[in-house]
Structure 1
Amino acid sequence: MFERIDTVCLTVSNVERSSIWYQELGFQVAFRGGSYQVFTIGNGGVPLTIEEGSISSNENSTYPIFFTKDIKSTYLKLKEIGVEVTELQDDGGNTFFDFYDIDNNKLQVCFW
């Protein structure tokens, strides 16, 4: 029935402001809808969609996980540009950390 994940969608308070933030991280706008935008990320097959709406909690319960080949460099670069990040964690086979966008949406980066 299902063939793949099509996108991961996050609700943001201001789609234009958030779009700029994501583009500064290297995301590319693939499509602009009325109150949403779809981004491609590197060579990945799953895009990220941001949709303008009401932000009702401090942290969303659904979040995307991005893969990187150099997690330490990615971590340091996000910290350098002022992005809120958690500490690097290692669960024995996977190194990861969380980071937050300007609407406090949780995102995660991993290397395994």
Structure 2
Amino acid sequence: MFERIDTVCLTVHNVEEASDWYQALGFNLAFKGQGHHVFTIGNSPTPLTIAEGNISSPANTTHPIFFTKDIKDTYEKLKEKGVEVSELEYIGDVTFFDFYDPDKNKLQVCHFE
């Protein structure tokens, strides 16, 4: 089902300003998307993603993003287990959905080629 933690995502007020700050700390900008940037950190296989959003909103808390080879299968398996899931979303080549633990902590699953 899950293959790895794909990224850790932090919500920021302004992605461009935050990106400058992270780069000043030595993070390497690997990808600029609409409203989000992805950084590599040293030799770590897990990047850091910053995404622009409303920090005061509980839905925009820091959350792990898991990668899966078959997102539709993972989605169905979680639903079958009674896990609360959002709808599948598509942004470019990335497909993802949120799911929640019993304490309502948000987690996310993604797939891309």
TM-score normalized with structure 2 length = 0.50
1:18 equivalent in structure 2: 18
5+ unaligned residues in a row in structure 2: which ranges? 65-113
Cα distance in 2 for partners of 1:63, 1:42 equals: 21
State the structure with bigger RCO (CA 8 A, min sep 6), 1 or 2.
Answer: 2
Deviations 1:26-83 (A, max 9, x none): 00011000100000000000000000011107xx86478xxxxxxxxxxxxxxxxxxx
Runs of 4+ in 1 over 6 A off after TM superposition: none
Higher strand residue share: 2
The alpha-carbon distance between structure 1 residues 22 and 63, as it changes in their structure 2 partners (threshold 3 A), is: farther
Cα distance in 2 for partners of 1:52, 1:20 equals: 14
5+ unaligned residues in a row in structure 1: which ranges? 65-112
Which letter does structure 2 place at the counterpart of 1:2?
F
1:8 equivalent in structure 2: 8
1:38 equivalent in structure 2: 38
RMSD (Å) for aligned C-alpha atoms? 1.9
Share of identical aligned residues, percent?
Answer: 69
TM-score normalized with structure 1 length = 0.51
The alpha-carbon distance between structure 1 residues 56 and 47, as it changes in their structure 2 partners (threshold 3 A), is: same
